[in-house]
Structure formats: C-alpha cells, structure tokens
Amino acid sequence: MMTTLYEGAYAKLNLTMDVLGKRPDGYHDLKSVMQTISVRDDVEIDVETGKPWCLHCDRDDIPCDERNLAWKAAKVFFETVKIDPNGIEIRITKRIPSEAGMGGGSADAAAVLRALNRHYGSPLSVAALAELGSLVGSDVPFCVIGGTALVEGRGEKLRKLPDMPDCIFVVCKPDFSVSTPVLYAKLDETPIGKRPEHLLMEKAIVTGNLPEIAQNLYNVFDPVVTAEHLELNYIKSIFNAYGSIGQQMTGSGSAVFCITPEFEYAAVICQMLKENYPQVFIAKPVSF
C-alpha cells in the first residue's frame, strides 16, 4: 500500500568557515560552525507506488533525475538497508535559494534520509545516517543532524554543540551566484590573512552569549567574493545601519546574513532590502 512521508528540509548557515588545505582526493579540509535555520524546503515521498522512480520540483532550474541529491540519497539508503521500496516518488517544494551557500540540495537529501529511516523503523542510528549522507554530499551529514555543530574534514566529522541562543537572522541572496570550484581555486592562490576563531565561537555558543557569537562570525570566502562583488558591502551596510550585531556571507556564497536580537530590527532590514533583492528571508535558529 502506498504511503506518503513528509519532512522539512532546513537551510544552513556557516557561522564560521575556514579552509585548511587541499586533500589528496582533490577536496578541501574544512572547519566550520554550522547552524540550521527555519528557511526550509518541503519534501514529500511516496513509497510503494509500484511505478518507476520519479522526482518532481516546483522550480524549473532544479534537476529532476539521478543528478538530484534527494534522488541520490534515496538510492544510497535503499542500497544500504537492502530494502526494495517498490517504486518511489519524491516531490520537493523549494524555498531555499539555489547557489546561495545555504545547503538547499543537501537539506533535501538529508530530509529524504531522515524520512525513509523513520518510516522503516530506524534501521540506522543518527550517526550512521549522517555517515551515509557523506556519500551523497559534503553538507548532507550536518543537514541530517541539524542544530548547531562543529563540522570538519570534508563535512563528515561532526560534533554537536549546545543550541544557539534565541535570535533573528536576516538572509539576503543577491542576483549573482558564485562557482564553488572557481572560488576554491582562487582561495588556493590567495594567502588567507584572517581566519575564524572557532574556539571563541564555541565558547560564545556554550555560554549563550549572542553578542560574542555575532562578533566572531567569519568566513574566509567572504573577502574573496566581496572583492569581485562589491554589492555585498552594500547589503552588509544596510544590515549594519538597521540593527545587525554581526553579518557575513554563508558558505561559498552568494547569500549574506546578519544576526539581530529582535524581530523589529529584522523587519526593518527586510523592508529596506526587498525592493532590490527579492530573495530576503527572516529566520530563526532550528534544532532537531
């Protein structure tokens, strides 16, 4: 009998982001404090459809075949637990912007893993499910566990941190996007003058000190992207002028975000930006 599963796919922000060097496999070792936020896609999964696998998305620019990370996640899950779903249909309603550094595709994949694991009686622990996610994409393990975590390696080494204190994020995705491989190549050729203070960030999170969290936001990609896209400075200036206590780019961009202590500040920032930047979001921290 066909069953429909429902799962939220939550975006992520990088509170800190450091690139430690290139690995022999061609990837880079990273170190980042990540946070899930309430901006989300919705994922629905029909199992036992009795039909060939298919995937649908409400956005035309998203691949709806084996290239989609959600499809890959379902495939690797069933291969691992050795279950035949007898047909599967995945439907994704997108809200997380693409090519933003917010982990949209990874969030969808993680939602598929969580939903399928729960439906089949949790044959995999959360840790094992996150490890499985590393076969799908670098951000998938974090998106599986959610909340606040220190992420290292290619993204497969995770350590949960206490929940971030209550606050409001404003996230703005400008019109341009950044090629992640090109950006890594530029960073390989550019001396990194400043790196994030992960220990100070972790201490601020443990003590629940929101101003200290905001002061320790840092992403090594931010100055590289901003040097070529000065409008990021304009967005940050709006953040700063209307109540932000800290701001930076997330991931490899191009979305930038700020932290505000009150919703009223976030609402004003959103109002000031939305005429020029349609993709502006107000969000809160989320933990699973």
Yes or no: say if 158 and 142 are a contact pair by the CB < 8 Å rule: yes
How many other C-beta atoms lie within 10 A of the C-beta of residue 138?
18
Q: How many residues does the chain have?
A: 288
Alpha helices by DSSP H, listed for 90-191, are 104-119, 126-133, 140-145, 180-189
| DSSP annotation of 285 | B
Q: How far is CA 219 from CA 16, 160, 172, 249, 268, in A?
A: 5, 20, 16, 7, 25
Q: How far apart are CA 13 and CA 66, in angstroms?
A: 26
Q: How far apart are CA 231 and CA 238, in angstroms?
A: 11
- As annotated, the active-site residues are 12, 139
- Rounded to 10 degrees, what is the CA torsion of 241, 18, 105, 119? -110
